[in-house]
Structure 1
Amino acid sequence: MTATLTTRRLGADGPQVSAIGLGFMSFRTSAGVEDEKQARDLVDAAIDLGVTLFDTADVYGPEFSETLLGRAIRGRRGSLTIATKFGNALDRDTNPNARPIDGRPEYVRSAIDGSLRRLGVDHVDLYYLHRVDPAVPIEDTVGALKELVEAGKIRHIGLSEPGPETLRRAHAVHPIAALQNEWSIFTRDIEDGIVDLARELGIGIVPYSPLGRGWLTGRVRSRDDVSGVQLRHPRFAADAFEDNLTLAGTVAAVAAEIGVQPGQVALAWLLARGEDVVPIPGTRHVEYLRENVGAVGVELTAEQLGRLDTIASRVAGHRSIRPENLGTEAPAVQGVGR
């Protein structure tokens, strides 16, 4: 299915971006020749399709994702909206005193300089605090981000996975343009207050893992289709797998009724949540990119939306992988990512 990729605004005064962005977390294994070619081909195709929002983070790799995205947009920066994230200390292997999450103002200032260097740009359009540092008042972190706005190094500020009170306090220091939380047919806890608060404050919503970490693509049929870090995720565990496979089958059934792919149904469901919602599915493959972008042309009936709305409460397994189970492997289900 082909359709024109429309635009949406992130935040009351935030950037105007494509209704579907591209998450770049899948590019985190190396910055070698093959990875660079694949990244460049993907970005070229995305731009040609009308994608303008590209999302990465310094911790992806670490650093490889930013480096590859920077190389891929060279000469095509133009009107693209480049988003990256900071807050996960990058020097924990060499510095035993490094904090796992760092929101100190001095770290904010050093982190942006590293990201700008790797991306090869003089500013980023949207700069997220990847996770809130519980040891640093959010006012201090956002105050430092405000200084970066004033210095011209960033255009807009975002937060990922903040609590409601933290979000409100942050917004009081400087307008927050975007909130990046996990949100999909399988994961809906963002709807317990955060969505309403974001809309009250005029903050755009950028769902990561909109394809349920692979479950909603229709390409997971057995645990053999999953490996690496993904296989260690609670929702792919042996005791949860069959239940979640059945729920994913509901999405596939709706897709079959319309004649589209399951992943397109999942993205169309998110797009229908509001004009302030801009999902960022990730992939390394042009064919899956085209499939994801095609979701803008999918229309779901009220009955189909109702069926999909019943799924999240029955999903087996916690949405978050435990820190002790994290590794350095690339996402196993290509075309999913963040």
Structure 2
Amino acid sequence: MTVTVPTVALGDGLHVSRIGFGGMALSHAYGDTDPDEALRTLHHAVDQGVAFIDTADVYGRPRDGSTGPAGTNEELIARLLADRRDEVSLATKFGITGAVGTPGIKATRGDRDYVRSACEASLRRLGTDVIDLYYLHRRQLDIPIEETVGAMAELVAEGKVRHLGLSEVTADELRAAARVHPIAAVQSEWSLWSRDVEARVVPAAREVGAGFVPYSPLGRGFLTGAMTPEKVSAGILRGEPRFVEHFAANQRIVDLVREVGRETGATAAQVALAWLWARGEALGLPVVPIPGTRVAARVTENAGALRVRLSPAQKARLDSAADLVQGGRNLSFAPKDWISAGRE
């Protein structure tokens, strides 16, 4: 059954579909995929009303095997935009150089020259003249965030970008950025089993009038119950304690989600997404999750979560899942300060 996907206001007057699509799933991080099949999935998402499409300059494999933003995911999104630009709310990101963990090379950049060159490169790859929401993917810690956001604000003034966003920022960084330019959205990992942002970042987003865009709202697929050790070993999660040595213990969370799903007539993925919307309502700010998938049917399933209504008792039981989690959310290849919780 097709779901009518409503729109919602994030911050700074930006309206997007109530659920978005995370483009990273269509790149190599979780195994290679066929570009034509990926494009069909993207078209299906827009057909369903899931028209808030999220990508980044660093998603994909560099064509020459070098370090640096790959851009191949943006090029894939460009094939969708070529026919349907007016239907899509487009978000992309910059700031990760593609050299995380590479000695002698900065993992992030936020200087003015880089901000401008990264934006122009993304516009070329995407085949568009404006980006609806431009995120700082990760900040360069030895440059004041005000400097980076000031350079991003210049892009808004020039009409190359419509709205600004920040990813994995702390509460204080968000407040400092918002004093320079309105921030439409904060993107960080947030789900049933990754809730550290609720302590400080979510309240700060509400304070400055920004919406929240949770990435990995399905726990990188774990919360759906479809993850297997074989699937884990095929992608970037193969070295992550949460997914490897704690795989069996964390199945207790999946069991809880499935139990609520049986009560509501929903899938595990739909329950996890419905919990996020309910949590956003409880905390007083708009929440637009961006689950990614390679399969068109999963797009329809995820959108179907909009029909799910959780009782107070079910919400409370799902809230308790956080107490069962074993293993942290930061990926092992990244430094502790890669995520906001490492700098709070």
Secondary structure of 1:127's aligned partner: strand
Cα shift at 1:287: 0.9
Q: What residue in structure 2 maps to residue 334 of structure 1?
A: none
Q: What residue in structure 1 maps to residue 50 of structure 2?
A: 51
Q: What residue in structure 1 maps to residue 20 of structure 2?
A: 21
Task: Name the Cα RMSD after superposition.
Answer: 2.0
Deviations 1:303-325 (A, max 9, x none): 11000001113200010112269
Identity of matched residues, %:
48
Q: 2 CA distance for matches of 1:84 and 1:324?
A: 21
Q: How does 1:224-239 map to 2 (within 5 A)?
A: 224-227=230-233, 228-238=235-245
- Are the structure 2 counterparts of residues 2 and 253 from structure 1 closer, same or farther at C-alpha, using a change threshold of 3 Å? farther
Q: 2 CA distance for matches of 1:66 and 1:225?
A: 25
Q: What residue in structure 1 maps to residue 192 of structure 2?
A: 185
Higher RCO (CA 8 Å, separation ≥ 6 residues):
1
Q: 2 CA distance for matches of 1:210 and 1:146?
A: 29
Cα shift at 1:285: 0.8
Q: What residue in structure 2 maps to residue 203 of structure 1?
A: 210
Tell me, yes or no, if the aligned pair for 2:232 and 2:244 is still in contact at 8 Å. Answer: no
Q: What residue in structure 2 maps to residue 85 of structure 1?
A: 93
Q: What residue in structure 2 maps to residue 8 of structure 1?
A: 8
Q: What residue in structure 1 maps to residue 312 of structure 2?
A: 302
Deviations 1:241-296 (A, max 9, x none): 12101121100111111121100000011111226100000011101111111110
Q: What residue in structure 2 maps to residue 329 of structure 1?
A: none
Deviations 1:190-240 (A, max 9, x none): 1002111111110010000000111111212x42342221222221122x1
Q: 2 CA distance for matches of 1:79 and 1:47?
A: 7
2:121 paired with 1:132: no
2:126 paired with 1:119: yes
- Stretches of structure 1 that go unaligned for 5 or more consecutive residues are 326-338
2:275 paired with 1:269: yes
Tell me, yes or no, if the aligned pair for 1:247 and 1:315 is still in contact at 8 Å. Answer: yes
2:327 paired with 1:321: no
Q: How does 1:28-47 map to 2 (within 5 A)?
A: 28-29=27-28, 35-47=34-46
- Stretches of structure 2 that go unaligned for 5 or more consecutive residues are 61-69, 336-344
TM-score when normalising by structure 1: 0.90
Q: Which one-letter code corresponds to 1:70 in the other structure?
A: A
Cα shift at 1:98: 4.2
Deviations 1:3-38 (A, max 9, x none): 321111111x231111100000022239xxx73312
Q: What residue in structure 2 maps to residue 162 of structure 1?
A: 169
Cα shift at 1:299: 0.7
Q: How does 1:285-296 map to 2 (within 5 A)?
A: 285-296=295-306
Tell me, yes or no, if the aligned pair for 1:206 and 1:278 is still in contact at 8 Å. Answer: yes
Query: Which residue among 55, 59, 66 is the counterpart of 2:74?
Result: 66
Q: 2 CA distance for matches of 1:208 and 1:8?
A: 17
Q: 2 CA distance for matches of 1:232 and 1:150?
A: 43
Q: 2 CA distance for matches of 1:324 and 1:131?
A: 12
Secondary structure of 1:206's aligned partner: strand
Cα shift at 1:2: 4.6
Q: Which one-letter code corresponds to 2:10 in the other structure?
A: L
Count of paired positions: 318
Tell me, yes or no, if the aligned pair for 1:27 and 1:284 is still in contact at 8 Å. Answer: yes
Show structure 1 runs of 4+ deviating over 6 A.
none
Q: 2 CA distance for matches of 1:3 and 1:17?
A: 16
Secondary structure of 2:230's aligned partner: helix
Q: 2 CA distance for matches of 1:129 and 1:143?
A: 12
Tell me, yes or no, if the aligned pair for 2:170 and 2:200 is still in contact at 8 Å. Answer: no
Secondary structure of 2:184's aligned partner: strand
TM-score when normalising by structure 2: 0.88
Q: Which one-letter code corresponds to 2:9 in the other structure?
A: R
